[in-house]
Amino acid sequence: MSGRRFATRAVHAGLEPDPSFGGVVPPIHQASTYVQPSPGEFVGDYDYSRSANPTRSALERALGEIEGGLASAFSSGMAAEHAVITAAAAAGDHIVLPNDLYGGTYRLVDKVLKRWGLEYTMVDQTDLTALAAAVTDDTKLIWVETPTNPTLNLVDIEQVIAHKRNALVVVDNTFATPVYQRPLELGADAVIHSTTKYIGGHSDAVGGAAIVREQALHDAIRFVQNSIGAVPGPLDCFLTHRGIRTLHLRMAAHSENARAVSEWLKDHANDVRWPGFSGMVSFRHANAAQIASRCRVFSLAESLGGVESLIEVPQAMTHQSVEGSAAAVPPDLVRLSCGIEAAEDLIDDLAQAFGV
């Protein structure tokens, strides 16, 4: 599908007809091990499903095609993050983090990898002077979120790359998706996804992915993937791959609903943010917890990116782990993941929750 437009690539990515019966969708290979023709001789790459599985391979091909690189699939976004960081950096190395980031990323680096000697600096990556001061010749990796989670700031990926020195630039593309942003095409070295979110899109499969430009980094990540074993099961791979085929349609609906909701919120809340694409909206309100609890169409739940709308208060939910750090979020911040329901119903739900 090289040279085809994104919608065509999304529909066909990673799909090869079933060689046995011609099914347009390959079967789920729910196998843990594979018969070898002779000792040490494999059919393809398949000896044991921690190392490789045909259903996972199809998903990885699809993810690589839509992001423009070499993909590895994981059992969660955090497993993908761990693999990329540990493949690129070692004890005593330095990385740069944004000061507005997903709480799980901060927890992984500060509470786990820091204990093994990894050093980090947090910086506002929208401030290029501050970013340049944080990056040294010894910095191994710059971690980028754009839009950021949860306050939806936009970071200029190309400007980060211009200040990277010798570091790898890794972009969490979960919120934007390759529909709106393809960091590898801008010069980034790696892209991370929680495929649980928009890529899968139906809140029924947890997963993650790392997609890179260079074969050497891909091989290093594959080594960690196989060694640690945080791989997704075949059914989760199948569901995630199925989600990719409607990604471009869903993202258009998410974005239109978020636009409508953010326009309404401007008259009823403070600091309303929508990056201009995707379904994520944030705002601040003194009655944040009460509003979140009163919603009926928006479900009060963590996560995002599914076809159903979600509402959360990050300080009490997804971002508890950043309390007391430079990435702490205010208690009056509300994050919305606008689904694909009727926009009018989403606005009506917020109106009754606000009491207007």
Spatial CB neighbours of 53, under 8 Å, sequence gap ≥ 6: 29, 31, 46, 231, 234, 237
102 is catalytic: yes
Tell me whether strands 299-300 and 208-212 are parallel, antiparallel or unpaired: unpaired
- The per-type count for the chain, helices as H runs and strands as E runs, is 13, 12
48 is catalytic: no
Beta bridge partners of 334: 283
Catalytic one among 47, 50, 107, 348? Answer: 50
Q: For residues 60 and 74, what is the distance between their CA atoms, to the nearest angstrom?
A: 10
Spatial CB neighbours of 152, under 8 Å, sequence gap ≥ 6: 175, 273, 274, 275, 280, 281, 282
Catalytic one among 9, 56, 164, 197? Answer: 197
Catalytic one among 93, 100, 110, 172? Answer: 172
Q: Greatest CA span in the chain, whole angstroms? A: 72
Burial 270-292 (b: 16+ CB within 10 A, else e): eebbbbebbbbbbbbbeebbebb
Q: For residues 16 and 2, what is the distance between their CA atoms, to the nearest angstrom?
A: 15
Catalytic one among 56, 93, 100, 102? Answer: 102
C-alpha pair distances (Å), 335 with each of 252, 272, 285, 300: 19, 10, 11, 10
Catalytic residue numbers read 50, 102, 172, 197
